[in-house]
A and B are shown apart, each in its own frame.
Chain A
Amino acid sequence: MSAVIDEKSKLVINETSKRYSNTKSQIIIYGIVCALIFIVPSFMDNAYLLNKFSTYLIMGMLAMALSLSWGYGGILNLGQAVSFGLGSYCMAMALKLRTVPIHTGAEGLPDFMVWNNVETLPLIWQPFHSLTLAVFLGIAVPVVFAMLVGWFMFKGRITGVYVAIITLAILVVVNLLIIDQQRITGGFNGITDLAQLEVFGFEFDAYSSSAYYLIAIFLTLSLFLALAITKSKTGKILQAVRDHEDRVRYFGYDVSHFQIFVFAVSAGISGLAGMLYTIVMEFASPTFLGVHLSLSIVIWCAVGGRQSLIGAMLGAIFVVGIQGSLSESETFLETWTLVMGFIFVMVVLFLPKGIAGAFESLAARIRQKN
């Protein structure tokens, strides 16, 4: 019986994976893009630009994480920023405990706690004295949170629009709570005035190539991890779930396990991105888990191509880059949001699979001609 199921499931899986079979060329393209990312600092001696590009890479990482769950798993997560924000706060808490507060004079207690009349460090902050533990939590907290939310949704066979709405509502709740619990979280101001990250005596200055390389390394690692997942059996089943959830279920798979898995991996990568973001931005803020950012991630993903990890990543870098340069140019100072909105609408109308999708179909057409 189980052999039959396996045979049949292979059929389904093969059907959906045919389109994604060209693994070798994919690895080459991914490798080239990552190599390009790594050589950027050698062309640049401008601390500001380097710092800006670092933030672009992080946004790319976020969009890539979303494309894993949305493009491959069919889970439209409008609350992707939750995991990003949780990661970012974990790093901020660790770095905060390493600063000497200059505005309060209180030793050992973060300045905002003094402002909120907190007298002893809350228990939840204690683990963050250890940087190792903080980094672990920066990934573990988003992963566990995503598993809980995923378990809650997917065990109940919630799909499509309802996933979008539940994740959006959860995002708003977490955001409200962080702003409300300002004795612990710093509230609306977030956690500011942080120490610089120092690992084994090596400092990661937000404006230096060291921080940039740190991000580039983790971006590359998570990109290939995601690629490996999409190529694995799990990844193929996921794509089958996305296209024909019921059929996969008939073969005896517990669909929810795969969904929870990819949801959690995506959250882990976002949490990592959040930690890196705190390092380059030098603060954590509730806007990092705001509705605006969360929807922006979806947009980047859509522009780049949700069904391509690298497409989503480059889409984010591309959109954020355009946004940055438009808003900095004098001509577009007042109209840049107008232009961005227009671009989104056009992309959705004319490039339903994003830029990557457009390239793919172009390539397919050329291949056909030959």
Chain B
Amino acid sequence: MKEGRRSFLKKTVVGTGVLAASNFPYIWVKNSSLAYAAKGEVKVGVLFSLTGTTGIIEESLNKATIMAIEEINDSGGINGMKITPVVEDPASDPATFAAKARKLVLNDRCVSVFGSYTSASRKAVLPVFEKRENLYWYPTLYEGRECSKNVIYTGAVPNQQQDEFVPWLVEKFGKRWYLIGSNYIYPKEENNYCKKLLADLGCEVVAEEYVPLGHSEFASVVNKFRSEKPNVIFSTVVGDSVVALHRQYRAAGLDPETMPMASLTTSENEVAAMGGDAAAGHFTSAPYFQVWDSPENQKFVEAYRKRWGEDKVTHFVSEPSYFQVYMFKQAVEKLDPSDISPQTIREAVKGVELVAPQGLVRLDPATLHTYLWPKIGVCKSDGQFEILKQSSEWLAPVPYKAYPDQVCTEAGLKQV
């Protein structure tokens, strides 16, 4: 009976649908069965906020992505096909992210979408990509512990930022650490990993504190720094809070020589907003800095400034936003145009290597994360970093590094 009613309902719905389709204009039923690559173009979505709180950073990711697409199209496209970007503004709001992702995947039939800065927005769009078997290209460093087969991760995971950084800091500055972060999953997970590394090194965590996202009054926090006197302040504060924290640290007269802030999130972008004076002497670990000396990076920085303005900076999230489009290109190039789909692209991108501005990177076939080149930089008063150390070889992504009983494999997450 239950089944009967259900199929009856379905029939009614389908029936009226067919009726409607025959009577009503073509637009209502458009391209539900067309191939992904048609008319010599490949459609991709570009989903970075242009407005709202994280728009300040995501705008630069949008710019890097657009620039890469323009470059590829200007030099002949992919096997003669143009990449057509569909740009949407998700307005820093997870619900809008989900809505726009649906539009790009279902309505515009994009074969891939480049997007997201915050983990919250990635989590919000994930169901769309997983249920609709599409592909999301995520350029941001993040907390790891994800093993989706519908996301290509080109940013760093905790092991790629911390494995060299934490022991180096301990040796240079000491064993008393103060962990401060914004109040959400990314800082907590980075700190989980950091505490593990610190415990192995016999260090002491004097405090672990989280401030609300968008927080800008750090007077009390600075007082706590002063009374706790840690050797290192490990910061995973994000967004404009980073700027406020650094400026207030500087204004309070604390000294980076004895109590430096070591950050995973402070890039040239934030430094430009806080001024070199407030940033000088603090450390960041990332796979990319604007000053990195390589022909590819020189070309990238020059092109970026020429396209978007001389005062613009490149940073460790805009660089993956740029090179992941080239990874996309390499993957699509391998495919026959009639065969292009999110799934075939995912298979084709596995193991792809290219010389990115940061160095030779490779997409790990098992985890769909990227082999990167961790670097340690210290900020100078001119607002740029000086690179103190680069790892001697590319570092494999291990999204479950803090949890040795779990491994991300090509078939999905495995318990060991």
Contacts and interface: CB of A to CB of B under 8 A. Distances in A.
Interface of A: 41-49, 51-52, 55, 102-105, 112, 115-117, 176, 179-180, 182, 187-190, 192-194, 200-202, 207, 209-210, 281-283, 285, 287-288, 292, 324, 327-328, 330, 333-334, 336-337
Interface of B: 2-3, 6, 9, 13, 16-17, 19-21, 24, 28-30, 32, 50-51, 87-89, 91, 93-95, 98-99, 102-103, 106-107, 118-120, 123-124, 126-128, 143, 145-148, 183-185, 188-189, 192, 212-213, 406, 412-415
A80 to B, nearest CB: 16
Contact of B107 (A46, A102, A282): A46
A149 B9 CA distance: 42
Given A42-B16, A115-B145, 8 more contacts: A43-B28, A187-B183, A189-B119, A192-B123, A192-B126, A281-B95, A285-B120, A336-B89
B16 A41 contact: yes
Contact of A201 (B6, B99, B145, B189): B6
Contact of A182 (B13, B19, B128, B185): B185
A287 B93 contact: yes
A287 B95 contact: yes
B95 A180 contact: no
Contacts of A285: 94-95, 120, 124
B107 A49 contact: yes
Contacts of A282: 98, 127-128
A47 B51 CA distance: 27
A103 B145 contact: yes
Given A45-B20, A283-B123, A104 B106 contact: no
Given A115-B189, A187-B183, A43 B24 contact: yes
A48 B102 contact: yes
A48 B126 contact: no
User: A-B pairs with the 7 shortest C-beta distances?
Assistant: A188-B184, A48-B106, A42-B16, A48-B107, A192-B123, A282-B127, A285-B94
B64 to A, nearest CB: 18
Contacts of A189: 119-120, 123, 184-185
A102 B99 contact: no
Contacts of A292: 93
B123 A51 contact: no
Contacts of A287: 93-95
A328 B106 contact: no
Contacts of A46: 28-30, 32, 106-107
A56 to B, nearest CB: 11
A324 to B, nearest CB: 8
A292 to B, nearest CB: 7
A283 B185 contact: no
Contacts of A45: 17, 20-21, 28-29, 32
B308 to A, nearest CB: 15
A187 B106 CA distance: 29
Contacts of B188: 115-116, 182
A130 to B, nearest CB: 20
A117 B192 contact: yes
B226 to A, nearest CB: 25
Nearest to B132: A207
Contacts of A281: 95, 98-99
Contacts of B21: 45
Contacts of A117: 192
B413 A103 contact: yes
Contacts of B102: 48, 51-52, 207
Given A49-B107, A190-B123, A201 B3 contact: yes
